[in-house]
């Protein structure tokens, strides 16, 4: 997500400081900045391997 989204949330929370949903949105944005990380990529590789394994391929 672009930083402009976070800035929008920050502006909104200034106008509505008691809005817990906006605070959660900012926290989620901050947490998402580190993704995809190496664990995400490893999980994706494993999912693809499983998806294309001989046991899962139907004819």
Reported as a single tens digit per residue, the pLDDT across 14-56 is: 999 999 999 999 999 999 999 999 999 999 999 999 988 877 6
Residue 58 falls inside a structural domain: no
Q: Is pLDDT of 11 > 60? A: yes
Threshold 0.75, pTM exceeds: no
Q: Is pLDDT of 7 > 70? A: yes
Residue 16 falls inside a structural domain: yes
The count of domains in the chain is 1
Instruction: Identify the pLDDT of residue 56.
Output: 66
Instruction: Identify the pLDDT of residue 53.
Output: 87
Q: Is pLDDT of 58 > 70? A: no
Residue 59 falls inside a structural domain: no
DSSP string computed for 1-59: --HHHHHHHHHHHHH-TT-HHHHHHHHHHHHHTT-S-HHHHHHHHHHHHHHTSTTT---
Provide the domain limits for residue 35.
3-51
Q: How many Å apart are CA 30 and CA 26, to the nearest integer?
A: 6
Residue 56 falls inside a structural domain: no
């Amino acid at each position: 997500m672009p930083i402009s989204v976070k800035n929008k949330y920050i502006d909104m929370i200034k106008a509505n400081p008691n809005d817990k949903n906006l605070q959660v949105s900012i926290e989620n944005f901050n947490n998402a900045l580190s993704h995809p990380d190496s664990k995400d990529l490893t999980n994706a590789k494993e999912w693809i391997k499983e998806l294309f394994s001989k046991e899962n391929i139907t004819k």
